[in-house]
Amino acid sequence: MISMKPGIVILVGAGPGDEGLLTLKGRDWIERADVIVYDHLVNARLIRFAKKEAELVYAGKKAGVYTMSQEAIHSLLIEKAGQGKTVVRLKGGDPFIFGRGGEEARALKKAGIPFTVVPGVASPVGVSAYAGIPLTHRDFSSTVSIVTGSNEKSREDLPIDWQEIARRPGTLVFLMGARKLPRIVENLIRYGKDPETPVAVIQWGTLPRQKTWTGTLKTIVETARKENIQPPALTIVGDVVRLKESIDWFETLPLFGKTIVVTRAEDQSASFIHLLREKGADPLAFPVIQTVPPDDWEPLDEALTRLAQYDGLIFTSVNGVRFFVQRLAHWDKDIRELKGIRIYAIGPKTAQAVRGLGIRVDVVPEQFVAESLLESLGGEDVAGKHFLLPRAAAARETLPEALRARGAVIDVVPAYQTLPPQNPNGDLAARLRRHEIDAITFTSSSTVKNFMAMLDEPSLLADTVIACIGPITARTAEDLGLRVDVVPEQFTVEALAAALESHFAQ
């Protein structure tokens, strides 16, 4: 009888919240996992790295309520690994800093299950850095003590030597202690800590909804009561808190805390989302289009058989470049087929996509719209010349009509089409009703049309900033009854992000 080879369990620290703080090794294991058992404070965006067939098991604890007991988690990890599976135990912060990773590792060792530990950015380290409070500083503190603020064993008193903790001169960090802040402060003062000692409480650290309250041991409890501070929160006690005013960086980012909807297709939104996140925003991906092949390849295929007949090839989008090249490859052709053809590209991103193929771009207009390309062709005699325009199945006719009016012959062939998504995010309307959305961005007329078709109550947008990448998109939005607040001078997502920054700065 052949026995099944046991799998492995990987205890992965997911960091304190910001998905960018996940380690490369942690991501690698998530991508390879057959099973992922994750906690409440793990950023849900990290799950997108998992393969589609991975089994996802939520084992989080919220407000003291357990989804699974710790013993049940041990049994689950042992069971799944015993079936020969690769199991990732995904934990907020670091597995061994009040993450009960040590208990899980011992249970696995006892059961003979191989395991690996991938450390994560611990919440004291990550949250304090994002709050602009260094835990050590040569002028203020040379020691750090990390203390649990929760009472895991339900004792009447916290299992802490308060006399010892209170007399320590360095920085004190309390995790999971939002609800027991009065008890913590009371004991620190009772055992000799100066009531004027600075205190900071940071909620939802490292995320765009991060909020920090500062005070002293004498005042912080009243502040917490008035502000109704709830978990998750981390408390820092010590003179280093005074440094926040001069070091603060995250909460002062230009778009900090702004929830901005990105309607671009999912496979094209990453760079824009990254830009917004770098400016402190909380981007909400709400793709209203998906880019797919055309219903019929025949027009493009026919054009590819006679590329040598064309004088010019016009690309109006990155998608046009991508699908055109993919179709070339489908017929076992490559860029050598474009020898002698002038290449025109509307927009720097489109031109960059072409150059990335090793092809020189002959004309890039100053403005990133069809009208500007026509201006760039002003000194060029196009009469009798033959152009190929591979583009979206549905698009404006401005460019083809203008070229034909000047005597050119132009073949417009669908290289792709944009369709509404199959599974739209149904939570957006509810968030608009709760006034949780600060801005909605549109990067094409298609995104505007599809978004408005999906939104049952246009009145929900009355107080929301509408930002469009350029005048054509803005005109579409206005024709559909929207008030457009932001249009950048250059029609790129970089300029759109900068324009949003300027708008909110005012």
Active site residue ranges: 39, 61, 176
Measured CA distances, 110 to 5, 88, 103, 107, 397 (Å): 17, 18, 11, 5, 70
Indicate left, alpha or beta for 432 from its phi (over 0: left) and psi (-120 to 50: alpha): alpha
Parallel, antiparallel or unpaired: strands 65-66 and 61-62? antiparallel
Question: What are the residue ranges of helices labelled H in 2-143?
Answer: 24-32, 70-82, 101-111, 123-130
Of the candidates 173, 218, 222, the one whose C-alpha atom is nearest the C-alpha of residue 195 is 218
Residue partners of 368: CB distance under 8 A and separation at least 6: 346, 347, 348, 470, 490, 491, 492
Q: What does the DSSP 8-state code read for residue 93?
A: B
Indicate left, alpha or beta for 154 from its phi (over 0: left) and psi (-120 to 50: alpha): left
Specify the DSSP element, H or E, that contains 468: strand 465-468
Identify the burial level of 246 via C-beta atoms within 10 angstroms of its C-beta, where 0-12 means exposed, 13-18 middle and 19 or more buried. Answer: exposed
Whole-angstrom Cα distance, residue 28 to residue 495?
33
Both tokens of 238, joined, read 């010590």
3-state DSSP call for residue 83? coil
Identify the burial level of 252 via C-beta atoms within 10 angstroms of its C-beta, where 0-12 means exposed, 13-18 middle and 19 or more buried. Answer: exposed
Q: What does the DSSP 8-state code read for residue 436?
A: -
Alpha-carbon dihedral angle through residues 176, 178, 181, 183, given to the nearest 10 degrees: -60
Whole-angstrom Cα distance, residue 165 to residue 188?
8
Residues pairing with 467 in the sheet: 441, 486
Q: For the chain, how many residues are written? A: 506
Token pair 């002028």 in the structure block, residue: 139
Q: What does the DSSP 8-state code read for residue 166?
A: H
Q: What are phi and psi of 93, to 5 degrees?
A: 65, -130
Specify the DSSP element, H or E, that contains 377: none
Residues pairing with 387 in the sheet: 312, 410
